[in-house]
Amino acid sequence: MRSEDFSIKSLGPCRIPSPLKLELEDGIPYFNFVSDENKILYEVEKTNGAISKFAFEKAGPREKIYYDPSKIRAGIVTCGGLCPGINNVIRTLVMQLYHNYGVRHIQGFRYGFQGFIPSFKHETMNLNPESVQNVHNIGGSILSSSRGPQDIGEIVDCLERQDIRQLFCIGGDGTLRGAHEIALEVEKRNLKIGILGIPKTIDNDIPFCVKTFGFETAFSKAVEAVQAAHAEAYGNNYGIVIIKLMGRDSGFIAANTSLACPDVNFVLIPEVPFSLEGENGFLNCLEKYLNKKQLDGRHPHSVIVVAEGVGQDLMGNTGEEKDASGNIRYKDISHFLKKQILNHFEGKIPVNVKLIEPSYMIRSLPANPHDAIFCYHLADNAVHAMMCGKTDLIIGYWNGHFTHVPLDSMVREKKRIDPRGDFWRQVLFSTGQSREMFFNPKT
């Protein structure tokens, strides 16, 4: 890692005094502006006596801004899967731009990046305080969404035609990669258009962000599903319920749900491969768990939480089939596990196996209060960064502070659970499952 990995691009010098009223009438500062020299350390823990010198720019309002608010047009787009909190972010962006900075022209591009492409004929939406006033009460996205890349040149052509000088891209990994490509094309054409990403992914797999919005709503609702699953499993002799949660390449929702709800007996995540057969295989561990409950005089039942991307190797997924976004189309682990469990216990134990998949219900919900507040902070800091001419970045959250993270650094990797870290150890202790059931953990 190099120190310049965290440097932020700028469209030019800031010479316009900020319209924010951050001082009292007597001239004593009431709220403080933030300087580009304010840094948030990447690492705060000392290792071998050394402290990391790498640091992020701290987010927040600057004393001088780049854009003249009365002369600019801003754009907002939402892409990818739905997620609790999207409308909260849209609302705050509009309110901050309009009321605090005086931006009067804000366009919402419909159906993701398709909204920029003339052949799709999607109309834009005029956004103002009246049109977004109550959108935080509903789930989904008022701008709708789509998956898959679009021609970057056509997107930038659209921005030029409509005289858009600021573009806020709300989305996950694929969206932010697209935003970075748009920023590079804008730079290549020497245009003064700011491109800023607001990370949105239920999976919580964006690097340099401790968490992303919608994540807490997702796993808090997933806990409710686990509680229902536990009642269902307990209601049958040898009842087994498999709950499939979001998490293509990372298991944060599955692991956090399991840690928050001790009714979970097994949790399977993509970061830690496992085997089905053998002494330490999942099926034998499940059988020993049920038999021990029976021997102890307790009601034999089990709740199993799986992330959607787990076990693809066991199902022979070669990765050749892709979705519209270019991601590997994953096979259904829950139906696969159900079949394997039934085959394993046939003639041994009369298990009753049921499946629950609450993903589509969870991702379409409005944000819970904690996520709503987090959305507000993200969008608030996004507007401040954009107004002072920063571009090709996202708003991150690191060591308790909101930060500026270059898109170039973000798109290089995904965040994963450390199989050798304290968090995974705590999950294993909570569920009681054996570490020996897993092998060759991914790092």
Q: C-alpha distances in angstroms, 101 versus 17, 96, 250, 305, 381?
A: 11, 7, 38, 46, 13
Say how far apart CA 395 and CA 268 lie, in whole Å. Answer: 31
203 is catalytic: yes
User: Tokens 């690191």 identify what position?
Assistant: 398
**Buried residues in 380-417 as b, exposed as e (16+ CB within 10 A):** bbbbbbbbbbbbbbbbbbbeebbbbbbbbbbbeeebbb
Q: Which of 230, 284, 221 is nearest to 256 (CA)?
A: 221
Shortest CA distance to 105 belongs to which of 141, 74, 69? Answer: 74
Catalytic residue among 203, 205, 263, 392: 203
Which DSSP category does 368 fall into?
P
User: For 412, which DSSP code?
Assistant: T
**How far is the C-alpha of 105 from the C-alpha of 102, rounded, in Å?**
9
CA 225/CA 59 separation, integer angstroms: 36
Half-sphere exposure of 278 (CA within 13 A, CB side): 9
Which are the catalytic amino acids? Answer: 203
